[in-house]
Amino acid sequence: MQLGFLVDLHLCMGCKGCEIACKVENEVPLSTWRLRVKYVDVGTFPETKRTFTPLRCNHCENAPCERICPVSALHYLDNGIVNIDKERCIGCAGCVMACPYGAIYIDPQTQTADKCTYCAHRIASSMMPACVVACPVQANIFGDLDDATSNISKYIQTNQGNIQVRKPEKGTNPHHYYVGGGNVSLNPLASFRPEGHDLFGKITAKMPVGGH
Amino acid sequence: MAAHEILAATNAVVTLDVGLPGTVWPWLVTVNMWAKSIGTGVIFMLFLLLRMHPESGNKLRLQTSIVAFIFINIFLLFTLADLHQPFRFWHILVHPSFSSAIAWGTFMASAFLGLLTLLVLVAWRARTKEECNVNYDKILLWTTILAIPVTLYTAALMSQCTARELWQMPAESAQMILAALLAGSSAMILLGGSKLSYEAKKTLGVVLGLSALMSFIIYMSEYIFGPGKAEEIAFTLEYIKGDGPYTVMFWLGQWITYLLPMLLVVLSRNSKSESILKLASILALVGLFLVKHVWLNIPQLLPMS
């Protein structure tokens, strides 16, 4: 079994329901995020367009965070999820530095690394991740990539040629896919980030470092 | 492509996102690298002196061992202080993951500290029993060999940080070794004082000058040609170009650590002035902290998602 995620960016409308569901389900502390939706505006008025991109851990096949962790706190589950054992983590932040997607943060309450686990605890109880359940337009598609009859496998087959992953050049082989993504939505360096235009920018500036 | 050209081409603006995380590896890690450079560097230099200028090296066994011992302890202390869960450090010993440079570094640095402790004890004993120096030199050989991977492991760790392209191998490993040679020769010039012969000081001055020159060349190569290698490097170097937040610190570091010491080493050779050589050493040691701090910080400022 190899669990994976796919987000159809044509469907996502940036409601941030997935963000909230994730926060509630996993009790993610203030100032930190396991999943968030980034808004990027493209073009010049009146020819403008807004893109919405949910960002979470990519559960890479060749995960740099798993490799750099000195105590195997980050480890693979049999279903392919890159899980984290917070009791074992020593808080060296090596994984925060190693992740090319900025998906790992230091939990200000436990002072250990944390990230999206595809809701591994819910999967163990045969439930879908909280963000999948919350999405009103079914833009989040989750399932077994090894099973050709799963929704995610069918989606990938149907949209062949229009499937993207973030930073494929890093060789991490993410198990998190996008449909309808582009340079602007998937490349963090392709967009200008004016100071003061970040949501919660002023609040997080005073929070413990490590949030993403 | 330059960073501003990429942004102009997309004409895209992030309008809603969370704040960037800031610096995750702070100045504590800079102290870690700086202290380690001195701790391993003086061992390299003692090994060199004992072979090239034994009359000077013979007088510095105990002092060098103590200095290395102190700075490696500072390095380990700051490594520990940087952990968010320092009391769980022992987890590395019982649950090591050998794919991690951090785990390798922990074991190697611990063994290195063990050897340094032994060196201090043997050198102390050699004050009254001179034949102990033979044992000292045997232990020093293994300590010097181990000092190489201890110096390099931080470069390996940084290269495991995928997407922090400025920290990639092999440039980082070269920089780490050169930093150890620079710091080691500088510390030894200051430590040796009158115990060093003029010839020994000249040798240390050459090591200091050449390691400064090599380091400077590598930094400038990254600065000039780096942006052509990867988009991440182009964006990272923006922080030390123009009115970037680290521009002043970067150039201050380059002048204090490399350019001025190089000039002063040449000047000291011409004028045979030991004071000028000592000034070059002090500048190099102070500046190394700035250089390391800038290079540690700027890749962390890059948005990753």
- Shortest Cα distance, chain A CAs vs residue B206, angstroms: 37
Preceding omega of B149 cis (within 30 degrees of 0)? no
Look at B84 and A50 and tell me if their CB atoms are within 8 Å: no
pLDDT tens for each residue of A171-182: 999 999 999 998
Tokens linked to B300: 């962390």
Please tell me the distance from the alpha carbon of residue B159 to that of residue B171, in angstroms, as a whole number: 10
Q: Which residues in chain A have Cβ-Cβ distances shorter than 8 Å to B76?
A: none
Of the listed ranges A5-9, A192-196, B204-208, B281-285, the least confidently predicted one is A192-196
Residue B147's pLDDT is 97
Query: Comparing B217 with B272, which gets the higher pLDDT?
Result: B217
| pLDDT digits 0-9 by tens, B230-252 | 889 999 999 999 999 999 999 99
**Cβ-based neighbours of A27, under 8 Å, separated by 6 or more:** none
Summarised one tens digit per residue, pLDDT across range A51-94 is 999 999 999 999 999 999 999 999 999 999 999 999 999 999 99
Mean pLDDT of all residues in B61-77: 96
* pLDDT at position A211: 45
Residue type for B221, please? S
Contacts of B157 in chain A (CB under 8 A): 68, 94
Mean pLDDT of B41-57: 95
- Look at the domain A3-204 and name its fold: Alpha-Beta Plaits (3.30.70)
Please name the residue that has the structure tokens 């010097």: B144
Averaged pLDDT, A4-20:
95
Model confidence over B114-170: pLDDT tens digits? 999 999 999 999 888 878 889 999 999 999 999 999 999 999 999 999 889 899 889
Do B14 and A89 make contact, defined as CB atoms within 8 angstroms?
no
Report pTM.
0.91
pLDDT at B132: 84
Q: What are the structural domain ranges in chain A?
A: 3-204
CA-nearest residue of chain B to A75?
A: B97
Query: Model confidence over B158-187: pLDDT tens digits?
Result: 999 988 989 988 999 999 999 999 999 999
HSE on the CB side for B9, CA within 13 Å? 10
Cα dist from B194 to A118, B189, B239, whole Å? 65, 10, 43
Amino acid (1-letter code) at residue B50: L
Residues 37-96 of B with CB under 8 A from A: 82-86, 88-89, 91-92, 95-96
In 3D space, the residue among B152, B180, B190, B181 whose CA is nearest the CA of residue B277 turns out to be: B190
pLDDT at A127 over 50: yes
Tell me how close the Cα of A146 comes to any Cα of chain B, in angstroms. 27
Q: Which of B7, B162, B239 to mutate to test the interface with A (most CBs of A within 10 A)?
A: B162
Residue B242 at interface with chain A, using a CB cutoff of 8 Å: no
**Record: contact A101-B7, CB cut-off 8 A:** no
Q: Cβ neighbours of residue B300 under 8 Å, at least 6 residues apart? A: A97, B22, B23, B24, B25, B164
Query: Any bridge partners for residue A7, and if so which?
Result: A140, A178
Buried b (16+ CB within 10 A) or exposed e, B27-62: bebbbbbbbbbbbbbbbbbbbbbbeebeebbebbbb
The pLDDT value given to residue A208: 46
Of B13, B22, B162, the CB nearest to A209: B22
Written as one letter, the residue type at A177 is Y
Work out the minimum CA distance from B73 to partner chain A, whole angstroms.
18
B194 touches chain A (CB under 8 A): no
Residue B206 has a pLDDT of 96
Q: Which residues pair with A105 in a beta bridge?
A: A114
Closest of A138, A187, A114, A106 to residue A9, by C-alpha: A138
> Which CATH entry fits the domain spanning B3-191+199-301: 1.10.300.10, 3.50.50.60, 1.10.3210.10, 1.20.1630.10?
1.20.1630.10
Contact B287, B256 (CB under 8 A): yes
